Every structure is written in C-alpha cells, then in structure tokens.
Amino acid sequence: MFNFTVKTGLTTLSAAVLSMSAFQASADVVISGTRIIYQQSMKDVIVNMTNRGKNPLLLQIWMDDGRESVNPQELKLPFVITPPITRIDPGKGQSVRVTYLKTPLPQDRESIFWFNVLEIPKKSQAKDGESQNQLQLAFRTRIKLFFRPDGLKGNPAEAMKQVEWSQTQTGNTLSVVGKNNSPYNVSISSATFKSGGREYEIATKSIKPFSDETMAVKGLTQATTGEVTYVAINDYGGTEKITSKVK
C-alpha cells in the first residue's frame, strides 16, 4: 500500500513533495544522467532509473517548462512520457520513454524543459504500541532536458568556452555579465572573480542561447580589472574549468 493515491493527480503530489522533500536526505531513485539531450532527429529518448533503496516505490514522472508554480496538468508541452506512472522494486531498474510530439519549437536555438521524478514510498505498517500518525516522505528529482534542433551552428563544447564577460555596477553592488552568443544553453555550476591576487565568489546563473545574465560578485563593491574562472557542465554531466578575462 502506498501513501498517496494516483487519482489525486499531480497537483496533490507536487504540493506534497514541495513541503516534504526538505526533510529527506536523499532520493532512493537514481537517474542515469544529470541532464537529457533530445536531438530533434531522434524518434524518442530513453531515460533509465534505478531504485537503490530497500523498499518498493511508486514513481510519477512528468515534465515542466520551468514554471514550478503551475499545475503540470495545465502545461501544454510538446512531449509525452511513457509510462507516466510506474512501480520500481528495490535493486531494480526502470526505463521511461520521452517522445517529441513534433509541436513547433524554435529552430535557431535549444529549448529547455525539466524532467521530474516523484518517489512515492510505500506506507509503513505501524507495529503494536506505535502511533499510526507516521510521516511518509516523498522526494522529487528534477533534471534539465535540452531540446536540440538539427543543424545548429557550432557545438555545445565550444559554446561553453566562448562566454564573454563584462562588468556592471549598481550602487555598491558589482556584477559580472556573462554573454552567450551561441544557440546552446551554457550551464555554469560555480564561478569566481580574481582581482588583485584575491578571489571573490560569483552568484552564478546558467545562460540561455543568445542572451546574457548579470551575476553579483560577493564582497567586491567597485569595478576593477580581473578575470572570471567558471565551471561549465557538458552534455554528459562532466565539468570543465574555464578562465576568461573581464572587459
């Protein structure tokens, strides 16, 4: 017996995980990668998951476009997931299929979506003398899905090395601006600004295609010469450290 009923829909499940996930240290289900790359020419993409826990789990799987506050049932996304609900026993694996429905998406750049997996644990049976009011925790894993049109110029590995950096200042807040001139998303996990022999942490953001992001430099209040060292994430979830001068 599981502690949620599927017929309640994603609204109830999503609300439950948002309120509960902070109490659980880690998920039992491990997804085979940290991101999903969906090349347009592919018929579909298979995502593999493994239950490394000790108990069976019910999984509910869906996608969103970044708006976490919107009921997933109300989102009209160009993908279908099969199956959207599945059981996975301890030590076992499960595959789900993501299929693009051919709904038009921008052809000059990548589009970004999010792939969600909600773990619904089996309800514990209270032993004699124990309270029936036991807290059952749900846990959601959320990773990026990049939809990549065929024929884009360049490649993602080049794009993450070609971010252009400049400075801007508002009051006592100094920020660096990362500009991405490529059709690929550039995912940045961390960055520092080095100036005068010191390093300052940057509040990093990932940069969408043909756009820029302003990122505050912590502890630095005025413009100065220097360079940014940032850690970018590639298609396989690996990282590369890149250093670039700030204009």
- The whole domain housing 241 covers 156-245
Task: Tell me, yes or no, whether 126 and 206 share the same domain.
Answer: no
| Structural element, H or E, at residue 85 | strand 85-88
Write down which residue in 94, 116, 148 finishes a domain: 148
Task: Tell me, yes or no, whether 134 and 161 share the same domain.
Answer: no
Write down which residue in 116, 148, 180 finishes a domain: 148
The DSSP string of 29-62 is EEES-SEEEEETT-S-EEEEEEE-SSS-EEEEEE
Task: Tell me, yes or no, whether 119 and 160 share the same domain.
Answer: no
Cα 88–Cα 93–Cα 99 angle in degrees, nearest 5: 90
Copy the structure tokens of residue 40.
Answer: 């347009």
Task: Tell me, yes or no, whether 116 and 176 share the same domain.
Answer: no
Write down which residue in 148, 176, 200 finishes a domain: 148
- Whole-angstrom CA distances from 183 to 104, 143, 199, 207, 212 are 17, 20, 30, 11, 12
- Whole-angstrom CA distances from 38 to 42, 43, 67, 68, 237 are 7, 9, 20, 21, 15
Give, for all 247 residues of the chain, the pLDDT tens digit: 444 433 333 433 443 444 333 334 468 999 999 999 999 999 999 999 999 999 999 999 999 999 877 887 888 899 999 999 999 999 999 999 999 999 999 999 999 999 999 998 876 655 555 555 555 567 889 999 999 999 999 999 999 999 999 999 988 889 999 999 999 999 999 999 999 889 999 999 999 999 999 999 999 888 888 999 999 999 999 999 999 999 8
β-pair partners for 126? none
pLDDT number for residue 218? 94
pLDDT number for residue 19? 38
